[in-house]
Amino acid sequence: MAYAEDAELEELHEPHSFWTKYIWSQDHKVIAIQYSLTAIFVGLIALVLSGLMRMQIGFPGSLETVDPTAYYQYMTMHGMIMVIYLLTALFLGGFGNYLIPLMVGARDMVFPFVNMLSYWAYLLSVIILLASFFVPGGATGAGWTLYPPQAITPGTPGTDWGIVLMLVSLAVFIVAATMGGLNYVTTVLQARTHGMTLFRMPLSVWGIFVATILALLAFPALFVSAVMMLFDKLLGTSFFMPEMMSLGQQLDHKGGSPILFQHLFWFFGHPEVYIVALPAFGLVSDLISTHSRKNIFGYRMMVWAIVAIGGLSFIVWAHHMYVSGMNPYFGFFFATTTLIIAVPTALKVYNWLLTLWRGDIHMTVPMLFSLAFIMTFLVGGLTGLFLGNVIVDIPLSDTYFVVAHFHMVMGVAPILVVFGAIYHWYPKITGRMMNDTIGKWHFWITFIGTYLIYFPMHYLGIQGMPRRYFSYEEIEFIPQSAHDLNTFITVTAIFVGVAQLLFVFNMFHSLFYGREAGPNPWRATSLEWQTPQTPPVHGNWPQKLPVVYRWAYDYSVPGMEEDYTPQTVPDDPAHESIQHDEAGNPDGAPA
Amino acid sequence: MSSDTTAASQKGFAGLAGDWASDKDAFKGVPWGKAMMWIFLLSDTFIFSCFLIGYMTVRMSATDPWPNTSEVFALEMFGHHIPLVLIAIMTFILITSSGTMALAVNYGYRRDKKRAAILMLITALFGASFVGMQAFEWTKLIEEGVRPWANPMGAAQFGSCFFMITGFHGLHVSIGVIYLLIVAIKVLKGHYDKKGYEIVEITGLYWHFVDLVWVFIFAFFYLW
């Protein structure tokens, strides 16, 4: 007997007090909401930080609080929060927690207690991170890549306490991500319901599953580099610190390798891009299929593309280090692998387009965000081909072209999916629809706004405008047009940033005043929409676990009455009412 | 046994792939805890690999000469100067503990609670003595002036790597000892009579992993 069936027979212990139900909850759905709200909260902080930075770039000197020290601190914290504490936590801890058990037909994650610890460790890491704003010297200003020697050498902001708190916070986050990740992977592998084969899983689950494996294998490199750098900072070891002079002083370090840190960091850092991108690929596939009422084109190809991207992502890391100096043959190798990764990625883009082709496209808010994702991801992906080539990368390196590229491809594109996915799954989570009109305003402002912000940055980058600078006024080769453009970008950025309040308002307002959604407002096929209650109760399927007969993409099947056929509908209508034997197994299922 | 998937009946690679992709579980008959432990150990392997690769890199980048490990870790015993003797004993003890752990797993599955628990306690005792000898080794090196940030015998990175890697491994062994004690007591109390004794094997997986990691540390740090 499979262990999932053992669990099916166990009685559910439903928590009753407020504290065990909503605070110290072990229910994957509550943990998912805790993760998501925390992630959105820190994300808003990072958004404010980016606004403050843009004020300095667009209107130099306009804010007294933004001096060079503060600027570098904001830049570092903005990057780190957005990449790790918002996107990683939201996709894996938020969507992963909510959707995996529901989509594969499990009562919960396999180890709910560990899952709960994962959230509390994550919250602890967030608190440590935010605490670094308030310690002497402030947060670290080393840039989100935290390159040594500068990250721990006097002269960089926050070398007293900020960098220590940042590294400790990362280590705690990795513990949290590991505890959660072990749960997600084991649940997908070992706790699927009757008939839920691997190739019947929705692509959302595939994306989150492969991304979690990447997280479990990539975060160790960050953990080790964090430990080593903490030792360099606190114990005076020289893992990453060469013999050097700093501010006229000979430092005590000797014989370390700064390049070692870069290798370790990017061995984590590049898979991290796909830890964020793969769940987005998965979620957006389901959104596009559902809202164009058509099966996803090339499902198996999509799955293998996710797996291939995941595998390749571990052998491209040094394309972030072309300017650090490396053997030209290595540069050749990493440029080649980087360009190869474009093949499965392009395959996915084609398949999304072919899914849309002649589909019954409903221009709902989730669909709008999905279409926007395809366009944004395409632009960001194409500039990735420029930067993947050593000879093109070297002049463009550390310019605004790079800023434009990674914001398009791993900032805006995944965030558009996050928005689309929240609009899509909100009815299941709360039982109410989000407001459509506000949603559409939010969409158009965000989509057009982000293009207006990031598209001109390509031009700035080709002009040679360096990134990470506090002030550009003194640099002669930067033309007036670039300064004007920067002002324009800042105005747009502030507008788009403020417009996100529409989304926050919509989220909380709809909770109380939204239209009643019913169990399956989008008429979708996957299991989470077939739960007996909406929102799903503790245990998801309190009586019998569902039985799956088909893949998750039976939309507009010829000859069917409805334009969607849920996964729980048997092929042969005669089997409509499934018989359960005494042990509670559906008829014909292996005992 | 019929199944919702037809792949289960196929032979060869198609059958293997079919079994993996079939419904409910990819690894048939593997408890959740065991699957989770394997995945965790895979992740932990990457941590130790990064530590060891980091050590090799700084050993190359260090500007001062690397000390001769067989001299550093030599002891005067019974009037003889024996290189690496303590490390050899520690390695022997840890590998022996893997043997007692394997026996414990066997007795656990036979539901011989007493023997299983005693063997687990012996394993924990071996583990604790390993940590004790490591503490002795640390003390000796610290008395000789080796620090994480300095090393009178040559490259400072020798001390940094030594304390970091053996410390991280020693932490794993210590956690393993506590883990073994908890499970052994629970086994004795009959806590797993209903759930089954896979937990002993899961504990064993972790313990064997810690031993295996030590073999690599021994080879790359002490012998090289």
d(CA B23, CA A199): 9
How many Å from the N-terminal Cα to the C-terminal Cα in chain A? 5
Question: What is the pLDDT at residue A3?
Answer: 67
Rounded Cα–Cα distance for residues A584 and A569 (Å): 19
pLDDT tens digit sequence for A508-518: 999 999 999 99
Residues of chain B with pLDDT under 50: 1-7
Q: Domains in chain B: how many in total?
A: 1
Q: How confident is the model at residue A576 (pLDDT cuts 50, 70, 90)?
A: very low
Contact A238 B44 (CB under 8 A): no
Min Cα separation A231/chain B (Å) = 8
Closest approach of chain B CAs to the CA of A86, in angstroms?
23
Say which residue the tokens 């920067």 belong to.
A486
- Would residue B179 count as lying in a domain? yes
Question: A245 in helix, strand or coil?
Answer: strand
Hey, are the CB atoms on B23 and A195 less than 8 Å from each other?
yes
Contacts of A109 in chain B (CB under 8 A): none
- Distance, C-alpha B44 to centroid of its chain: 10
Q: Measured between CB atoms, does B100 come within 8 Å of chain A? A: no
Instruction: Supply φ then ψ for residue A586, to 5 degrees.
Output: -65, 150
Count of CB pairs separated by less than 8 Å, A with B = 160
* Predicted complex ipTM exceeds 0.95: no
Cβ separation of B2 and A178 shorter than 8 Å? no
User: Minimal Cα distance from A1: which residue of B?
Assistant: B29
* Residue A114 contacts residue A29 (beta carbons within 8 Å): no
Place of tokens 């793969």: A278
Residue A193, min C-alpha distance to chain B (Å): 5
Q: Give the residue carrying structure tokens 């491994």.
A: B169
Does residue B24 belong to any structural domain of this protein?
no
Residue located via tokens 């790079």: A402
Q: How far apart are CA B50 and CA A220, in angstroms?
A: 7
State whether B40 and A231 contact (CB < 8 Å): no
Task: Judge whether B143 lies within some domain.
Answer: yes
Is residue A575 over pLDDT 70?
A: no
> What is the end-to-end Cα distance of chain B in Å, rounded?
54
pLDDT of the residue at A81: 97
How close B9 comes to chain A (CA, Å)? 13
* Cα–Cα distance measured from residue A194 to residue A1, given in angstroms and rounded to the nearest whole number: 12
Highest mean pLDDT, choosing among A6-15, A41-50, B59-68 = A41-50
For A400-413, the DSSP string reads HHHHHHHIIIIIIH
Return the residue matching tokens 């943990």: A31
pLDDT per residue as tens digits for the range A346-400: 999 999 999 999 999 999 999 999 999 999 999 999 999 999 999 999 999 999 9
Residues forming a β-bridge with A246: A249
Radius of gyration of chain A, Cα coordinates, nearest whole angstrom: 24
Instruction: Give the number of other CB atoms < 10 A from CB of residue A21.
Output: 15
SS3 of residue A470 by DSSP = coil
* DSSP reduced 3-state for A232: helix
Q: Do the Cβ atoms of B31 and A231 come within 8 Å? A: no
Residues of B in Cβ contact (< 8 Å) with A264: 50, 54
Minimal CA–CA distance to A132: which of A39, A49, A36? A49
CB-based burial label for B219 (10 Å; 0-12, 13-18, 19+): exposed
Integer angstrom CA distances of residue A149 from A326, B58, B182: 18, 15, 44
Half-sphere exposure of B147 (CA within 13 A, CB side): 10
Domain that holds residue B50: 32-223
Q: Are A390 and A323 in contact (CB under 8 A)?
A: no
Report pLDDT for A578: 46
Of B27, B49, B160, the CB nearest to A231: B160
Partner-chain residue, chosen from B33, B50, B157, that has the shortest CB–CB distance to A255 = B157
pLDDT digits (tens, 9 = 90+) for A111-162: 999 999 999 999 999 999 999 999 999 999 999 999 999 999 999 999 999 9
Which residue of chain B comes nearest to A3, CA vs CA?
A: B31
Cα four-point dihedral sign A557, A562, A567, A571: negative
B contacts of A588 (beta carbons < 8 Å): 2, 4
In a domain? residue B130: yes
Q: Which residues does chain B have within 8 Å of residue A236's beta carbon, measured at their own beta carbons? A: 148-149
Is residue B9 a part of any domain in this protein? no
Q: Is residue B83 part of a domain?
A: yes
Q: Which residues contact A453 (CB under 8 A, 6 or more apart)?
A: A407, A489, A492, A493, A496
Which chain A residue lies closest to B50 (C-alpha atoms)?
A221
Q: Domains in chain A and their CATH numbers?
A: 25-241+255-575 (1.20.210.10)
Do B46 and A217 form a contact (C-beta atoms < 8 A)?
A: yes
Task: Find out whether A224 and B53 touch, Cβ atoms under 8 Å.
Answer: no
CA distance linking residue A394 with residue B152, whole number of Å: 43
Report the alpha-carbon distance of residue B78 to residue A426 in Å, rounded: 75
Chain A hits for B22, CB-CB cut-off 8 Å, are 197-198
Contact B42 A217 (CB under 8 A): yes
Closest chain B C-alpha to A4 CA, distance in angstroms: 7
Contacts of A473 (CB under 8 A, 6+ apart): A60, A483
Q: Are A337 and A365 in contact (CB under 8 A)?
A: no
Chain B residues near residue A217 by CB distance under 8 angstroms: 42-43, 46
Q: Evaluate whether B74 touches B81 at the Cβ level (below 8 Å).
A: yes
Give Rg (Cα) of chain B: 22
Q: Which of B 9-48 lie inside 8 A of A, CB atoms?
A: 20-33, 35-36, 39-40, 42-44, 46-47
* B197 min Cα distance to partner chain A (Å): 14
Q: Which of B22, B36, B157 sits opposite A110 (nearest CB)?
A: B36
Tokens 């002269």, residue located: A155
In this predicted structure, what is the pLDDT of residue A4?
64
**Model pLDDT, residue A11:** 67
- The model's confidence at residue A585, banded by pLDDT at 50, 70 and 90, is very low
Distance (Å, rounded) from C-alpha A125 to C-alpha A120?
9
* Chain centroid to CA A484: 33
**Within a domain: B23:** no
Where residue A569 falls among pLDDT bands split at 50, 70, 90? very high
- B57 interfaces chain A, CB cutoff of 8 Å: yes
Among B24, B164, B205, B213, most A C-beta atoms within 10 A, so best to mutate, is B24
- Give rounded-to-5 percent helix, strand, coil for chain A: 65, 5, 30
* Domain of residue B40, CATH code: 1.20.120.80
Q: Is residue B194 part of a domain?
A: yes
* CB distance B101 to B147 below 8 Å: no
- Which of the two residues, A560 and A575, has the higher pLDDT score? A560
B39 to chain A: closest CA residue? A182
| Strand partners for B76 | B81
Contact A536, A102 (CB under 8 A): yes
Q: Is residue A405 predicted with pLDDT exceeding 70? A: yes
What is the pLDDT at residue A589? 43
